[in-house]
Chains A and B, each alone.
Chain A
Amino acid sequence: MELHVWGEAFGLPSIDPECLAAISYLHHAVPRSEWSLIASNDVSVSPDYVLPALHHAGTWISGYLNIVQHLAAHTSFTSADDDLTEAQRADALAYASYLSSRGSALLAFFLYVSPSAWTELTRPAYSSLLRFPLTWTVPLKIRSAAIAKTEHLGLDHLAADVDPEDGSSESKVTAPVTATGFLRLPTRPSVSVSMQPEQAAAIRLQSLLEDFFLTLDELRGNKAYFLGDEKPTSLDFLAFGYLRLLRVRTPHPFVEKCMARNPAGANLIKFLDTMQTNIIQWKDGYTLPWTRPAAQSLVTLTSRFADNATENIPGVGDSWKSWRGDGVKESDGTRDPTQVLFAVGAAVAGLAAVGGAVAFKALSPFGDTSHRWDAPKAGLYQFGDIGTIFGSLPGFESPASPPIPSPMERDTVYQGEKVEVAVDVEP
């Protein structure tokens, strides 16, 4: 069987917590000769577009919990969850759900949303995982998903605000004088005003982290693992995946400090150590069954890039995603009639916009670039071309017709970029 994951980063086998959990679980539960590990770095290998994905006996199973269930149901390897009672299974599912919502939101904040960690740590890590043109699109997509994840924690605004250079947001400069010119009296700012957004966020983050640690630690209590003393269960591997990535050394080691200070966090550090010494052996030079991913042709690479780029075109991206089959729908290929209607409407509106732009471009500009004023025509010249013909005949020479000035008598009084004023000087 093959396990497809996101590749190595920060000295760990995977950059993604669930992939890390799946690697350590398979490493624990399945003999090394029975499985191979492929850093495919491409969610589209699995039909569900989720990594980790297990390819076993012709079927694809994606997501950590599904992989664990599949291994328990369809293989002969002893499952780590066999001895659990019904209540413990319920707890395992609830806490796994807690980890994958709260834990992944916190992780998303520290590794993806935080600008310094993103520029110095996570983005370079993705750049080393992906091939060239994809480094322009895939990490940005992952980051915007991470920002959306942290929205309900109320921390997503930091991504845009914070200047990655000095880690501070825009300074609040107030003029020392009022609008009328008097010196402004110094105001004593209240605590909440003088705090930078990161400092305010740090307080909130700390409480979120402490809640997170406390919730996990209360389940574990004095036991060696989350649900027992003897051996780890699938929940322990998932918790390991999240907690280990949270301990990655970021430019601002906020989590590390918070974890060491907090008693619940300190207990979880002990849990990580137990896991690493007793269960996870890939720390000590043990090689995981890495297999090289199938080489991607240039065509695949280009089409992935083009696909990602199309998603980002405003106005078109959503229709493109929906056309490609994204969304929540049965996979029987039927299309929602309203969707077709909207697609046709969008196409017509798009064509109309393009046509309008072309037509606007084709309109003659308002006002020519050069203007020409002639002296009022007199004599036969006022009768158009015929008059000009007759007027130039010697017999019809009229006294009012302007004499053709010689070049010497012509004087340019003004010459701008587009305007030239010339006067004829009568001798």
Chain B
Amino acid sequence: MSQASAAAAAAPGPATTTPAAPHRTAPRSGWFTIPEPLRLVFRQFPLVTYAPNELPLRSPSNRDLPVLYVFASDQDAWKGLPSYNPSCLKWQTFLKLAGVQFRIAPSSNHASPTGALPFLIPSSSPSDAASQMPIPSNKLERYALEKGAEKLADTTGSKLDAYQTLLDHRIRNAWLYALYLSPGNSSLLSQLYVEPCSASMVVRTTIMHKLRRAAEAEVLQSIGAPRVPPTTLYIGAEQAFEALSAGLGSDEWFFGNSRPGLFDAAVFAYTHLLLDDNLAWIDTRLRDSLLKFPALVEHRKRLLSRCWGKTE
């Protein structure tokens, strides 16, 4: 009984402010009162208070420029080099062609509101909430045409729709096989998409496996057959390159336009990545197919020097 009253006296709050008989304080040390030894332990916290963390280097320093979030390494993003993902590179190139001033930032699919990169966050002021809405890739074309300084080639037309399906099916399928499924290129896949995610071997193996199954499912769905030999995909892609090369003919840009447009950017996104010497392709079958068509190789050089101002 004396111990209980001592504990009640030590406790701050109503027990000490209203001195009461021991038989009345005893119920107060019921469910919601912390026992004294625990209270003593918790009084020791916080043991150490650290200084607040610095913001990461890649966090936006100013919001004056729109930021396009793409797959890229930190260094490449800092220098504004081309992304290594075809659909990101397509929009990166297109925005450059349209004359939009923007920065790129490395990101991942999980960060995107639509679940897929790229997306763009326009330049904004903190007071204006509407300007901070991210723009997904399917609305980027309109954004670029509104904000861009350059007048671009007309991107509507029936031929464009038809040729676009060559890129979206034949070439994309072969690309998916070459990068994701071909055993020779697994070190490249790992370097681009897996190693930045985690240092743990278990996580890396799982991510690799998931990426491969997803790529395989995409290819099978696009072909519409339960099994596809890779040679079929490569032959299909070579035929598509041939058709694209014939469609380009001796013109500078596709469909006889005087300026490059969205379709040029879409073709460049694949041709540049296949011909880029910084990507270590081991299984070079798709690259070799492309090299058979000098018109496309020249087209890639023209666009590279126009957007990044360098020639290889």
Measured CB to CB, the residues of A under 8 A from B are 43, 48-50, 86-87, 89-91, 93-95, 97-98, 100-102, 104, 145, 148-149, 211, 214-216, 218-219, 321, 325-331, 336, 338, 342
Contacts and interface: CB of A to CB of B under 8 A. Distances in A.
B290 to A, nearest CB: 16
Chain B interface mostly = helix
Chain A interface mostly = helix
Contact of B165 (A102, A148, A326): A102
Interface residues of B, number: 39
A327 B163 contact: no
B243 A90 contact: yes
A95 B164 CA distance: 10
30 contacts: A43-B225, A48-B225, A50-B225, A89-B243, A89-B246, A90-B246, A90-B247, A91-B159, A91-B162, A91-B243, A94-B162, A94-B247, A97-B166, A97-B170, A98-B165, A145-B224, A214-B158, A215-B158, A216-B158, A219-B162, A321-B226, A327-B216, A327-B227, A328-B216, A328-B219, A328-B220, A328-B230, A329-B181, A329-B229, A331-B229
B229 A330 contact: yes
A49 B228 CA distance: 9
B209 interface: yes
A97 B242 CA distance: 14
A87 B246 contact: yes
B240 interface: yes
Contacts of B224: 50, 104, 145, 149
Contacts of B230: 328-330
A101 B165 CA distance: 7
B161 to A, nearest CB: 5
Contacts of A48: 225, 227-229, 232
The 7 closest A-B pairs by CB, nearest first: A90-B246, A90-B243, A215-B158, A218-B158, A98-B162, A94-B162, A93-B243
A49 B159 CA distance: 31
Given A50-B225, A93-B240, A94-B159, 11 more contacts: A49-B226, A86-B246, A93-B242, A94-B165, A97-B162, A97-B169, A149-B224, A215-B158, A326-B226, A328-B228, A342-B209
A190 to B, nearest CB: 21
A322 to B, nearest CB: 9
A218 B161 CA distance: 11
A342 B224 CA distance: 25
Given A91-B162, A94-B159, A97-B162, A325 B227 contact: yes
A342 B213 CA distance: 12
B158 A97 contact: no
A211 B168 CA distance: 18
Contact of A90 (B183, B221, B228, B244): B244
Contacts of A89: 243, 246
Chain B CB within 10 Å — which of A94, A215, A336 has the most?
A94
Interface string B233-255: 10000011011111101000000
Chain A CB within 10 Å — which of B162, B209, B225, B229 has the most?
B162
B161 A98 contact: yes
B270 interface: no
